[in-house]
Amino acid sequence: MAGDLRDEGQDKFRDECGVFGIFGHPDAANLAYLGLYAMQHRGQESAGIVTWTGQRMAVEKQMGYVADIFDESRLARLPGHSAIGHVRYSTTGESRLENAQPIVYNTNKGPLAIGHNGNLVNADEIRRELEQEGSIFTTSSDTEVFLHLMARSRREDVVGALREALARVRGAYSIVLLARDRVLAARDPQGVRPLTMGRLKVPGQPDATVVASETCAFDLIDAEPLRDVEPGEIVVFDAGGTASASFAMGQRTGFCVFEHVYFARPDSSIFGKSVADSRRAFGQRLAREHPVPADIVVPVPDSGMFAALGFAEESGIRYGMGLVRNHYVGRTFIEPKQSIRNFGVKVKLNAVRSVVGGKRVVLVDDSIVRGTTSKKLVRMLKAAGASEVHMRISSPPTVNPCHYGIDTPRRKELIASAKAIEEIRAFIEADSLGYLSLEGMLAAFGHGDHETCSACFSGRYPVPLRAPDPQATLFPAEEAGEAAEEDAARTEPAPRP
Q: HSE of 202 in the Cβ direction (CA atoms, 13 Å)? A: 16
C-beta of 404: minimal distance to ligand SF4 in Å?
A: 4
Q: How far apart are CB 10 and ligand SF4 at their closest, in Å? A: 14
DSSP 312-344: HHHH-PEE---EEE-TT-STT-B---GGG---G
Secondary structure (3-state) at 224? strand
Q: How many CA atoms lie within 13 A of 226 on its CB side?
A: 14
Measured from the CB of residue 491, what is the shortest distance to ligand SF4 in angstroms? 11
- Please say whether the beta carbons of 358 and 385 come within 8 A: yes
Q: Can you say how many angstroms the Cα of residue 417 is from the centroid of all Cα atoms in its chain? A: 22
Smallest separation (angstroms) from ligand SF4 to the CB of 258: 4
Q: Is the distance from CB of 260 to CB of 306 less than 8 angstroms?
A: no
CB within 8 A of 130, min separation 6: which ones?
Answer: 137, 145, 148, 149, 152
209 beta partners: 23, 199
Please check whether residue 252 is in contact with residue 495, taking contact to mean a CB–CB distance below 8 angstroms: yes
CB of 456 to ligand SF4, least distance (A): 3
Phi, psi angles (nearest 5°) of residue 61: -150, 155
Beta strand ranges found along 13-163 (DSSP E): 17-23, 46-52, 57-63, 82-88, 103-107, 110-120
Q: Which is nearer to ligand SF4, 428 or 456 (CB)?
A: 456
SS3 278: helix
Closest CB 350 distance from ligand SF4, rounded Å? 29
Report CA dihedral (465, 470, 471, 477) to the nearest 10 degrees.
110
Residue from 17, 216, 256, 456 carrying the catalytic annotation: 17
Cβ neighbourhood burial of 360 (10 Å; 0-12, 13-18, 19+): middle
Nearer to ligand SF4, 82 or 454 (CB): 454
Minimal distance in Å, beta carbon 222 to ligand SF4? 30
As a whole number of angstroms, the distance between CA 172 and CA 287 comes to 33
Query: Rounded distance, CA 266 to CA 299, Å?
Result: 14
Integer Cα distance of 322 and 177 in angstroms: 45
**Is 17 annotated as catalytic?**
yes
Q: Which is nearer to ligand SF4, 37 or 445 (CB)?
A: 445
Q: Name every residue whose Cβ is closer than 8 Å to that of residue 326 and which is 6 or more positions away in sequence.
A: 347, 348, 349, 350
Q: Which lies closer to ligand SF4 via its Cβ, residue 5 or residue 256?
A: 256
Output 229 or 256, the one with its CB closest to ligand SF4: 256
Q: How far apart are CB 270 and ligand SF4 at their closest, in Å?
A: 11
Angle CA(464)–CA(406)–CA(141) in degrees, nearest 5?
A: 85
Residues at the contact surface with ligand SF4, assessed by CB under 6 A: 192, 256-258, 402, 404, 406, 453-456
Residue with Cβ nearer ligand SF4 (146 or 457): 457
Q: Pick the closer one to ligand SF4 by CB: 212 or 453.
A: 453
Positions annotated as catalytic residues are 17
